[in-house]
Each structure stands twice: as C-alpha cells, then as structure tokens.
Amino acid sequence: MIRRYVIPAAALALASLLASAGHARAQEYDSRDIMGGGPNFFGGGVSPIPRETVSFPTNYAPGTIVINTAERRLYLVQGGGVALRYGIGVGRDGFRWSGVHRISAKREWPGWTPPVQMRRRRPDLPGYMSGGIDNPLGARALYLGSTLYRIHGSNEPETIGHAVSSGCFRMTNEDVVDLYNRVSVGATVVVKN
C-alpha cells in the first residue's frame, strides 16, 4: 500500500514565503523544522532533566519563578501546591548569586554582547554576536532586572544540571521556549543558593 502524506497548504506557503524572502533562518532549518516535526526544532536537543509537574507547596504567587541553584532546578509556580520543574545549568564556583528580581525584558533569538568582565577572561570572544542557533543565548532570553544575568536557552544540552555559566541560568532551547511562553515581563524571579 502506498501512503501519501499531505503537507498543509499553509505550511508550504510559509516555507515558500520564508525561502523567497531570503530569510536567514529559513536556510538553517529543513521543512521538518518549519513544521515542528524535527528532533531539534530549536537546536540543542532534549534536556537530560525532563520538565515535569511536581508538588511545590509555597506562598509564592502563581507565575513566580523560583531558582534553586543547589538543586540546579527552576520552578514555575502554578498554584494549588504544584510547579513546573525544569533542569538548568547554573553559575560555576565564584559566579553563583542569590536575590529577587523581576523579568525586565523577553527576547526571541537575542543578540549577545559579552560583558567586559567576560571579555577580559576570554579575549577570544566577539564584541557582539547576532541572534541565531549558534548564539550562546539560544532561542529565548528572559532578562533579570538591570543585572547582566538572564535565563536563556542553550544549544549544549549536556550542560544542563551542571555549574557551567558566568552567573546566567541556561536551559535547553525547548525548555526556555516553553517557559518564555508561560511568563510575562514583570514576573518575580527568586534565586536561592
């Protein structure tokens, strides 16, 4: 028996439009990615720590993000005593911090300007890197107040669950997109060591 697969006209039109416009990202992904069927739609693969709903009794309001750096987990409070739990990469020794901030901005495929302190440690880093799959900030970034820190994506899933960053919190691109779609600018972020 011969099976035929029909690709919806809207998906074909979108792929055609992106390609004809010379859109840079259309060249990065094949048709499976455009339609959401590819294994690495946002690059970087699946988290070694699966996202899950867990018991989380707390007095924090729903929508609050609680980061436990010792556990290397991020919790999005849902209310009713539960939270969504995500695996994260945290700051390595000497770069961990704690405090309370609010999400001050959200960006899709953000550009990255390495901070001066980081460029002193790593003079090989570029002065600026455009957004895209190879950018260290990944598919999405949530900016924390006026700090240099962010919750952001990563194309290195093997770093999730480890102390690897210069103070930012990294997630797989798939998980950061999920979180990005669930929270708003102004949401409270509580960082605990």
Beta-strand pair 99-108/188-192: antiparallel
Active-site pick, 23, 101, 152, 162? 152
Active-site entry in 23, 101, 162, 168: 168
Cα(181)–Cα(185) distance, rounded to whole angstroms?
11
- Geometric angle at alpha carbon 192, from 111 and 153, rounded to 5°: 25
CA angle (142, 144, 147) in 5-degree steps = 130
Examine the residue annotation and report whether 101 is marked as an active-site residue of this protein: no
Cβ distance 150 to 143 under 8 Å?
yes
CA atoms within 13 A on the CB side of 142: 24
Residue 23 falls in the annotated catalytic set: no
Give the residue numbers annotated as catalytic, written as ranges. 152, 168
